Amino acid sequence: MGEALLSRLIDRKLYHPDTILVSEPQATRRELLAEKYGVQVTSDNQAAATASEVLLLAIKPQVWETVAVELAEVGETNPEGGQLPVLVSILAGVPLSRLEAAFRYQPVIRAMPNTPATVGAGITAIAPGTTAQPSHLELAREIFSAVGEVVEVPEYLLDAVTGLSGSGPAYVALMIESLADGGVAAGLPRAIASQLALATVLGTAQLLQQSELHPAQLKDRVTSPGGTTIAGITRLEQAGFRSAVIEAVQAAYRRSQELGNRE
């Protein structure tokens, strides 16, 4: 996700490569990023912490404690916080309270992007910390707009965001796979069934977005009396399709809460 943001920010000319410093522990990755994007690279997290505008935290939650100590030391040496960058975190399960406790002198924003961001078609929810100002939020919006849409929510809703848009791509991928399997069961070659399934989901999403139709309206337009579509919908209702999707979002939401409550 960090590289997806990096590439889109450079492609859209929001930041020049010369102004970006990436801290990466693996030498091979540093070489690749420097060659591919023309950015500055380092293995020194404290060097990255001296950023003038934004410090983007895109690491695994498992290394959070170690990295946070290294980065926060820079802020501790400048308690006035005059030129410290806004901290933008995309870490799952690390709440604002812990981020702000570690980075006491910096404004903090939590963000929850999803995997379609890697192709510029994602959606990111951002939640401001207690000292984040409108200018900081605008900066975060600008960054994440490079990889898709942006919505602002209070932090307590980020677990629900995780259950829906964070985990949602997996649900959609499962549906596409199931549609293709259904086509194969009906006699279509696998390649054609997969192409039809993918194009159907993509096209339907675009139609809903551009027409601003409610999904129920589009469903009704496709459903003729006594036709094929209502026959298929009837079987989906019998199988509890809607309830299964709702319960999937709720299960992911609850799991996100559990992970966030772990110390």
DSSP 8-state code for residue 165: I
Tokens 């409610």 belong to residue: 214
* Distance of alpha carbon 143 from alpha carbon 56, whole angstroms: 10
Is 167:252 a contact under the CB 8 Å cutoff? yes
pLDDT of residue 81: 46
Q: Enter the pTM of the model.
A: 0.88
pLDDT value, residue 160: 94
Q: What is the pLDDT of residue 20?
A: 92
Q: Are strands 122-128 and 148-152 parallel, antiparallel or unpaired?
A: parallel
Domains and CATH numbers, the chain: 2-155 (3.40.50.720), 168-261 (1.10.3730.10)
What pLDDT score was predicted for residue 258? 85
pLDDT given for residue 75 in this prediction: 63
- pLDDT above 70 covers a percentage of the chain that reads 95
Q: Which residues pair with 21 in a beta bridge?
A: 40
Q: What's the maximum distance between 2 C-alpha atoms anywhere in the chain?
A: 73
Residue 59 has a pLDDT of: 85
- pLDDT less than 70: residues of the chain: 74-83, 262-263
The pLDDT value recorded for residue 73 is 74
C-alpha span between 64 and 68 (Å, rounded)? 6
Output 244-250 pairs: Cβ under 8 A, ≥24 positions apart: 245/171, 248/163, 248/167, 248/171, 249/160, 249/163, 249/164, 249/167, 249/168, 249/171, 250/163
Name the helix (H) or strand (E) containing 160.
Answer: helix 158-161
DSSP H/E element including 100: helix 96-102
